[in-house]
Amino acid sequence: MGDRGKVPQYLKSSEELAGMRKAGHLLQKIMLEVMDNVQVGVTTLELDKLAYSRIKEAGARPGFLNLYGFPNTLCISPNEQVVHGIPTGTPIMDGDIVSVDCGLVLDGWFADMAYTRGAGEITPEAKRLLAVTQKSLFAGIAAIEVEGRLSEVGGAIEDTVHAAGYHVVDEYGGHGIGKNLHEDPHVHNRRKDPGGHHRIKAGLTIAIEPMVNIGTARTETLEDKWTVVTLDGSLSAHFEHTVGVCGDGLVEILTQDPALDEPRYY
Ligand code: MG
Ligand code: MG
């Protein structure tokens, strides 16, 4: 009876985690190059082409392209766009903040991550939003504990965002990841359990991805049926890592190569 209503966790062996680590490190390397190119005058379609080329050159394939019908390699969501923005030929402008989300598949394993950064001079408020969002991601990661509750991941995100006076999007969230981009369990960005009071197990691999808005948690989807925007037009940021719980209980950020510094875009 204790398992009633539980959603599954697809636990990975250490060999499987090694495959996901390889995918994650490749994705981070490509993402760092893409983020370096988030500059005034560059179009988001140019960023998309760069990511596509790098993924193909590495013998991987884009994880989002054609998934559920998504038309591109990257989701690029500037300013009031929250997630799932479609790359366009419009150049990035001075003061824009640009969220870039990328997934890839290497040897059958998915990795998924997102960064947000500013182009040119961004406002102090925008800088604070980026800092708070990235901080909330790491608070969520730090809350992972074997036999701990998965709801504490979202709880740590929520607490960090609310302490800053911002709003965390609840309609979208993180997810299990592995042979598929989206696996159970869902990882809420609030202190909510995906079902059955989930206890975190060794071998769990999840993408954690807070989306944080300045003015309201409420969002709407544009007519293109993809682009999610804040309901009040206020700025939104998005950071994401793919994380694995190793057999020894250690939590590893699979999309963070330990040889590289975690970038801060504020
Ligand atoms: Mg993503
Ligand atoms: Mg994701």
Confidence of residue 42 (pLDDT cuts 50, 70, 90): very high
Alpha-helix residue ranges (DSSP H) falling in the chain: 14-36, 44-57, 124-142, 151-163
> For 229-254, what is each residue's pLDDT tens digit?
999 999 999 999 999 999 888 999 99
Determine the residue type at 159. D
**What is the reported pLDDT for 247?**
85
- Distance in Å, CA 100 to ligand 1 centroid: 8
Residue 266, in any domain of the structure: no
**Phi/psi of residue 77, nearest 5 degrees:** -130, 90
Confidence of residue 5 (pLDDT cuts 50, 70, 90): low
Calpha distance 241→229 (Å, rounded): 22
- Distance in Å, CA 87 to ligand 2 centroid: 17
Residue 8, in any domain of the structure: no
Which long-range contacts (C-beta less than 8 Å, at least 24 apart) are formed by 32-37? 32/260, 32/263, 34/74, 34/100, 34/102, 35/100, 35/115, 35/117, 35/263, 35/265
Residue 1, in any domain of the structure: no
Number of structural domains in the chain: 1
- Distance in Å, CA 1 to ligand 2 centroid: 31
**What is the reported pLDDT for 54?**
98
- Distance in Å, CA 114 to ligand 1 centroid: 6
In which domain, by residue range, is 223 found?
A: 14-253
Return the ligand number nearest the Cα of 207: 2
Residue 141: CB atoms within 10 A of its CB come to 19
Residue 42, in any domain of the structure: yes
Contact 38, 98 (CB under 8 A): yes
- Distance in Å, CA 93 to ligand 1 centroid: 23
Q: Is the pTM of this model over 0.85?
A: yes
- Distance in Å, CA 130 to ligand 2 centroid: 18
Q: What is the CATH number of the domain that holds 242?
A: 3.90.230.10
